[in-house]
A and B are shown apart, each in its own frame.
Chain A
Amino acid sequence: ETGVTQSPTHLIKTRGQQVTLRCSSQSGHNTVSWYQQALGQGPQFIFQYYREEENGRGNFPPRFSGLQFPNYSSELNVNALELDDSALYLCASSLTSGSRQETQYFGPGTRLLVL
């Protein structure tokens, strides 16, 4: 059983650029959630995808967007990057069955630095 994987591991961008981060969910999981973890802080929920649709969103502007693919993998896109977007971006996968959602398991993260 493979765990959650994310790519790339590190990324450097400049202000105003766009970035795409990728996540492959754990085998058997159908739901992907994205979190932003600024240095020295706890993760903050960005959004969740289930059945290829956004299934909940935190307090992040529309320039943060995402996709989920039929194989349950997911992308996080951030447009018009700002310096404050520098953070560790964590992907978590889980299994949703009916109205029940199981525990979220996290990938190793992508560390984004915006200069």
Chain B
Amino acid sequence: GNSVTQMEGPVTLSEEAFLTINCTYTATGYPSLFWYVQYPGEGLQLLLKATKADDKGSNKGFEATYRKETTSFHLEKGSVQVSDSAVYFCARNNAGNMLTFGGGTRLMVKP
């Protein structure tokens, strides 16, 4: 079946460091791809999305590009802040708009 694989955490960075969280997906169909963020004790918030190959999603300084040739949707941010500390989930949609999520990557940003 369809799956999403993302790098295991935790990822620990100092404030203002560059962030990359890798995500790859199974290439079945033509999925839309998403990054959701989960802050402690909360539900999921949509961070960004891309609906077709070569699209770039961006929000709050985060970016991810839909790469069909490498089946990847890596999340990047040029300068992280302490407030970015959270768990990040990569996801793809499937038939019926069911979302398949990766296992999540915990990001810890230290001052």
Contact = CB atoms under 8 A, between A and B. Distances in A.
Interface string A97-115: 0000101111111000000
A18 interface: no
Interface in A66-112: 88, 90, 92, 94, 96, 101, 103-109
B100 interface: yes
A55 interface: yes
Contact of A43 (B42, B44, B45, B46): B44
A92 B89 CA distance: 15
A25 interface: no
Contact of A106 (B36, B93, B95): B36
Interface residues of A, number: 28
Contacts of A101: 93, 96-97
Classify chain B's interface size.
20 to 34
Contacts of A58: 98
Nearest to A94: B97
A55 B49 contact: no
Interface stretch (B14-22, B64-72, B101-109): B101-109
B44 A106 contact: yes
A42 B102 contact: yes
Nearest to A43: B101
Contact of A48 (B36, B91, B98, B100): B98
B97 A108 contact: no
Given A41-B103, A56-B98, 10 more contacts: A31-B97, A33-B97, A42-B4, A42-B102, A42-B104, A43-B89, A44-B101, A90-B43, A92-B99, A96-B97
Interface of B: 4, 34, 36, 42-46, 49, 89, 91, 93, 95-104
